[in-house]
Structure 1
Amino acid sequence: MKTTVILLLMWVAFLAPLGRAQEVSSNITELTTKNIDFAMDLYRLIASHHDDNIFFSPLCMSTAFTILAMGAQGTTRQQILKGLRLDTLEQDERPELLAELFHELQANITQDGGLQLDQGTAMFVHLQFEVLKAFSAQIQKYFNADSFNVDFSNSKASMATINEYIKHKTGDKVTDMISKIDPLTQLMVVNTIFFQGKWELPFIAKSTTNQRFYVDKYNIVQVPMMFNDNNFYMARDTNLKIRILKLPYLGGAAMLIVLPEKTEDYTSIDDHINAEVFQGWLKQLKKMRMEVNLPRFKMEQSYEMHKILPDLGITDIFTSRANLSQISTVLGLQVSEVLHKAVIEVDETGTTAAATTTVGIVAKSMPFRFIVDRPFFVFIYHEVTNTILFMGRVIDPTKK
């Protein structure tokens, strides 16, 4: 018997945030720190396979595998939690603690109601397969999971049902996610995250012009370069020789652009980024007037995570050694594949809300310029908790 887990991260479009002051518990702060370190671990593994664009949702991945950990025991559970960097948070006397923390984190992210972020979990269960009631109740309680019965032996019908669910949960942005289903599949877990952000300070559409983007020393492409002139937050990391720019969204999220200096190769910082470094960047941000040039780009990235996660020590769950006895009493359950798909679309638009743009009267001499005309890193994060929702790197913005 096989269990298939599908993870996907969805779409980012339009762009703009500043959150209200909220109390974040020390446990949530620690969870966020662990999630950032997991995000960097996963990024480095993906980056080690190629030099192309990268985009994924670490929150989507960690949420889905925390759900699997709730259904696992023994070495299988230990490997998952260690791979996610969450093993130090676990308490034997409180086995539901991690689920409670993820539930609290989700509440923190969405409590303002202004952030358009929808994270969903669903179980698709084979007609003759019985999921333990305790497991169903837990993922419903902590992750608000939907549950559906499907006939996996009818691959075409079950595939259509699941793809329609994914399409609906992602605002029609991800279609035909599943291209094949093993008839032996007994359970499929789908985790989706959909984000749509509007810039707090929209770019000026009529100012977008085609400009050069230097992929490397030998490859130059033309990209539609957006323009904005406003008060933004920026920082420098002199050790890593990078500049950091924060572009806020309405509703409490922000995009962080990390741009290596022209003399630096973008791979030179890969081994140095961790939670401490990332959180340090956020603390160093200072507000200043500047001109920003950022490419308009769109990416769609897919990953077979079952081929990547074993390098984080998560191995047994993909083999006959898997212990998923908290999900079902059926013997032989194992995860056959983990699919993750991420889509991002960045353009000038917010809503037609030019009135929200801050206008200041300043003496304009030579403004500071932040020109993103070479490979850069992108992080989309929730400002109050510092939770990374999405991250990646853009090597060539003309390639989807």
Structure 2
Amino acid sequence: MQGSTAILVYLLPGERENQMVVSAGNETRTGLGGDGGRLHLDFLPVHLTCCSCSNPGYFQPETMNWHFSLLFLLGTLASVCSQFNFYPLEELSSDVGIQVFNQIVKAKPQDNVVVSPHGIASVLGVLQLGADGKTKKQLTTMMRYSVNGVGKALKKINRLIVSKKNKDIVTIANAVFAKSGFKMEVPFVTRNKEVFQCSVKSVDFEDPNTACDSINQWVKNETRGMIDQVVAPDDIDSLTRLVLVNAVYFKGLWKSRFRPENTKKRPFYGADGKTYQVPMLSQLSIFRCGTTSTPNELWYNIIELPYHGEMISMLIALPTENTTPLSAIIPHISTKTIGSWMTTMVAKRVQVILPKFTAVAETDLKDPLKALGITDMFDESKSNFAKITRTEGLHVSHVLQKTKIEVSEDGTKASAATTAILIARSSPPWFIVDRPFVFFIRHNPTGTILFMGQINKP
């Protein structure tokens, strides 16, 4: 199985005071350098535009212009206890992405939706480091922790996620593509290097085609070719100043592989009421599974399909009754719910039938984030990103995410709070995924949700 995600954020002008910053020139020191792990792709492009005036002491590629845009592509965060909450950090960061996912599926109940909660949390984390005032307060309230307060913990968690002990391939990489002359605050650059291991690369946004080629090539390399384009020339103009990119790559082989000769076309009953003949993977093996319900007693089956390193698993939740819509189950799933699954599922010999599929989703996260209370950063008159730069005012115009995931006989490739009532019931001898379902790719040691999706039609 494989997948990828990209988020693009556009920030536009507003006035700001002067202060010290760092430059992103070809020969200047990079405030966001680092090794950057890799994971199957997750990108968050952020595009910002703003008014500016020159000011010495900033991190800048060359000279300043009056206007600029900032583009982010991101995705990465994880766990430990926050100063505001007793929940593990991985639960808090992943829950941010799950809440965004819930908002998206409300608007697209019959579509395939795939996101990277880890990537969404990362992009918001980078924005939080650059925000001030009410803009920062809204981000912190939503995330329930301060990135500055848990920076060391985040760094440690990311190391665990990309550790070679996982056996499955997980990589995370972050980069800031800065226009020559753009000035960034030194603390913002330094902190992003420490927490997100970002590197700074200088590009000429006056030449959109060349700039896009540079960004897309970086993304393609970090996602092993899964995502070859996240930005287009139309996304960049003379106002663009920064493109912040995060790439998350994951490739996992099943612990118990599906034999290709057992793959046959079977019916899948889509959310649109139509029946589709799709290739279905099949195997009889021992898997941990169970049955649980929402607080209002809507029952659904769950199963864990581990990858060969056993550090990462795919979890699938499927309504027990075909009359129960997936939309009635999803709102009740959180990281706490998933954690309860992990402690209650029982190993059984089960015949599993699962669709072989590829899902690609492009989503604008602006409306979902606004619905969750993050509003000021999208408002030109209220947005405050003074910790990125004080010479220009910025606001976010768009947050776009692109995600791709593939599930096959060999495994998975991906780039990129209501608790359930779980009981130990006998699992059926068959676990047939022949109707809409939701899946999660979870790093078990930390509980971080790398990817998740709603599949209504394989």
- TM class by shorter chain equals 0.7 to 0.9
Q: Contact 1:53–1:393 at 8 Å: present in 2 too?
A: yes
Match of 2:43 in 1: none
Measured at CA, do residues 187 and 367 of structure 1 come closer, stay the same or move farther in structure 2, by a change above 3 Å? closer
| SS of 1:175 mapped into structure 2 | coil
Deviation at 1:221, TM superposition (A): 0.3
Match of 1:213 in 2: 268
Measured at CA, do residues 295 and 347 of structure 1 come closer, stay the same or move farther in structure 2, by a change above 3 Å? same
Deviation at 1:65, TM superposition (A): 1.1
Gaps of 5+ in 1: 11-23, 352-365
Distance 2:226 2:391 in 1: 36
> For residue 334 of structure 1, what is the amino acid of its counterpart?
H
1:73 aligns with 2:126: no
**2:158 pairs with one of 98, 106, 111:** 106
| SS of 1:182 mapped into structure 2 | coil
Measured at CA, do residues 212 and 126 of structure 1 come closer, stay the same or move farther in structure 2, by a change above 3 Å? same
Match of 1:134 in 2: 187
Residues 7-86 of structure 1 mapped to structure 2, 5 A cutoff: 7=73, 26=81, 30-50=88-108, 51-84=110-143, 86=144
Deviation at 1:113, TM superposition (A): 4.8
Deviation at 1:292, TM superposition (A): 0.4
Match of 1:247 in 2: 305
> For residue 123 of structure 2, what is the amino acid of its counterpart?
A
> For residue 213 of structure 1, what is the amino acid of its counterpart?
F
Distance 1:243 1:105 in 2: 30
Q: Contact 1:304–1:339 at 8 Å: present in 2 too?
A: yes
Distance 1:135 1:113 in 2: 31
Distance 1:43 1:166 in 2: 23
Give TM-score, length-normalised by structure 2.
Answer: 0.75
Deviates more, 1:145-154 or 1:288-297: 145-154
> For residue 153 of structure 1, what is the amino acid of its counterpart?
E
Distance 1:381 1:392 in 2: 12
Deviation at 1:367, TM superposition (A): 8.1
What is the identity percentage for the equivalent residue pairs of Structure 1 and Structure 2? 30
**1:6 pairs with one of 65, 72, 83:** 72
Deviation at 1:350, TM superposition (A): 5.0
Deviation at 1:110, TM superposition (A): 2.6
**1:327 pairs with one of 378, 382, 388:** 388
| SS of 1:97 mapped into structure 2 | coil
Give TM-score, length-normalised by structure 1.
Answer: 0.85
1:393 aligns with 2:445: no
Deviates more, 1:306-315 or 1:172-181: 306-315
> For residue 62 of structure 1, what is the amino acid of its counterpart?
A
Distance 2:272 2:221 in 1: 43
Distance 1:185 1:99 in 2: 28
Q: Contact 2:95–2:117 at 8 Å: present in 1 too?
A: no
1:296 aligns with 2:356: yes
Distance 2:279 2:209 in 1: 41
Residues 218-297 of structure 1 mapped to structure 2, 5 A cutoff: 218-238=273-293, 239-251=297-309, 252-261=311-320, 262-297=322-357
Matched residues, number: 363
More helix by share: 1
Distance 2:337 2:376 in 1: 32
Deviation at 1:349, TM superposition (A): 1.2
Q: Contact 2:162–2:172 at 8 Å: present in 1 too?
A: no
1:346 aligns with 2:407: yes
| SS of 2:394 mapped into structure 1 | coil
Distance 1:197 1:138 in 2: 31
Gaps of 5+ in 2: 1-12, 14-48, 50-68, 413-426
Distance 1:207 1:293 in 2: 10
Q: Contact 1:8–1:339 at 8 Å: present in 2 too?
A: no
Match of 2:257 in 1: 202
Q: Contact 1:211–1:225 at 8 Å: present in 2 too?
A: yes
Measured at CA, do residues 342 and 258 of structure 1 come closer, stay the same or move farther in structure 2, by a change above 3 Å? same
**2:203 pairs with one of 150, 153, 156:** 150
Deviation at 1:43, TM superposition (A): 1.4
Deviation at 1:217, TM superposition (A): 7.8
